[in-house]
Chain A
Amino acid sequence: MRALMEGSEAIAEAAIAAGCRFFAGYPMTPFTELLESFAKRLPEEGGACINAESELEAIGMAWGAAATGARVATGSTGQGLSLMQESMSEITRAEIPLVVFNMARGQGDYFQATRGGGHGDYRHIVLAPIDVNEAVDITQLAFHLADQWRHPVLIYGDYLLAHTAEAVAIEPRSAESLGGPLPEKDWAVDGSLGGSGRSRNLNPIGMEKGSKGIDPDRFWRLLQEKQDRIEAAEQRFEAEHTEGAELLVVAFGTLARFARYVVRELRAEGVPVGYFRPITLWPFPGQALAEAAAGARTVACLEQNAGQMIDDVRLSLFGSGLPASSVVSIGGISTDAAGFGIGPLLDTEVVRDRIRAALEGRAVDGVLGGPIS
C-alpha cells in the first residue's frame, strides 16, 4: 500500500522495516526530521532513539549498540558528520556494520563521504539516492550491505530528499532479494562469552585476546583486501541515452533528477546528450562511466559544489582517449541564504542552459559559481 510521506519519515520507516532498532542523533537542519521520525517510531517498535548531547555521543552510542549485533543507524548533516569522523574511522577499522545518514546541506560533502572522511586508510560504502522512492530501497539495501561486509554504509541525502513528499510503499525486504543470505554475527559482543576463554574484543587496532601487543599491519591489510572486494562488487549506477551522446552529463543525488529530466527533454528534441549517475559514490562506478562516455566529445559534471566528483570522473576516464580538458564542470557553488543547499542551480532551466552551453563550447556566466571551466 502506498502512502504519501516526506523523505525523512519514509527513510525512518524503511530503516525500521529493515530491522533498525537503535538510532541516536543531534538535531541539525536538514537532518532534524529524520531524528524526529526515529524518536517517534522506534519506541513503538521496541527500539530506542536517543537525543544525544552532541554528534560525538550520537556516533558513540550507535557504535556501542551496533557492536552488540543490532541493526543501528545514526546521522547528521555534513557538519555534524565532521564531528563524527573520528569514531567512524574506528568503527570501520573494527568492522562494525552501521548505517549513517548525511542529510547534507548541498553537495559540498562529497569528499568527506567518499575519501574516508577521518583518519586512517579506509572508505565507506556511499549510496546517493535520487528521490524518496529510491531512498526507501537504498535504506534497506544499506543495512544489508553493512551486515554483508561488516562495514559502515553512508547514505548521502540532502534537504530536498529529507523534505520532499512522495507516495511510497515500504515493505520489509528479504536478504535474498537484496543480494543473498547474510553471514552469522558471531563477532557481535553480547556479553555471553566471559570466562569461557573465547571472549571477544571488538577492536579497531587488531588487538587480540591472550597475547600482548597489536598487529595493525596484518589487520589493516585484511581490511584493505575486503575493501578491494567491495570495490569490485558493489558499483551501482544509472545511465540513459548514452548511445550516440556527444555530451554526457554526470550528476549524483537529488541534483541528478534535474539533469535526468533535462537530458530526456533535450533528447526528445533531438539533441545528442546522455546521462550518467553514480548511485554508489564509493565504490565509484568508473568502468561503467568509461563505457557510457565512450562516444562522447564532452563529459559535463553537474554538482553543487566547487568541483569534487569531477576528480572521480577524470580518474575514471584517464586513459580512455578523452582529453582531460573535455571533462568540464557545469555545476558550482549554489546555495540559498540559509545555507541549506537550495540554490539557483536546482532549476531545470538553469541546468538546460548549462548543458547546452557545454555542448556548444560556450562559456556561461553561472548563476553562481562562475563560468564553466
Chain B
Amino acid sequence: MSQVESRGTVVIAVDRCKGCELCIPACPPAVLSMSVDQNAIGFAYPELAPGCTGCGACLLVCPDFCFAVYGYDEPVLHEEEDTACAP
C-alpha cells in the first residue's frame, strides 16, 4: 500500500475526446493514461490516476476542449495498492 497525494483534479468531457493522446505526455506528474474502453464516438480517452497537481497542462494542449481543472483547497490523499503480476 502507498499513499498518493492529489493537489488538484480534472473533469474530463470524455465523449468529445478524439483520442489524440496529446494530454498523456503533456501531463507533468504522468497521471493520465488512455482507456481500454471506447467513448461514444469510438475513441479511447484519458483516465486520471491519483497525483494530479492541477497544473492545467492537459487543458492547454487539448484540441477538443475536454478538460476542466480544479485545485483542491487541501490536498487529497489516495490509498493505492501495489500488486505483483506475472510476466
Please determine if A and B sit in direct contact within the complex, based on CB atoms under 8 angstroms apart.
no
Q: Which residues of A contact B (CB under 8 A)?
A: none
Q: Which residues of B contact A (CB under 8 A)?
A: none
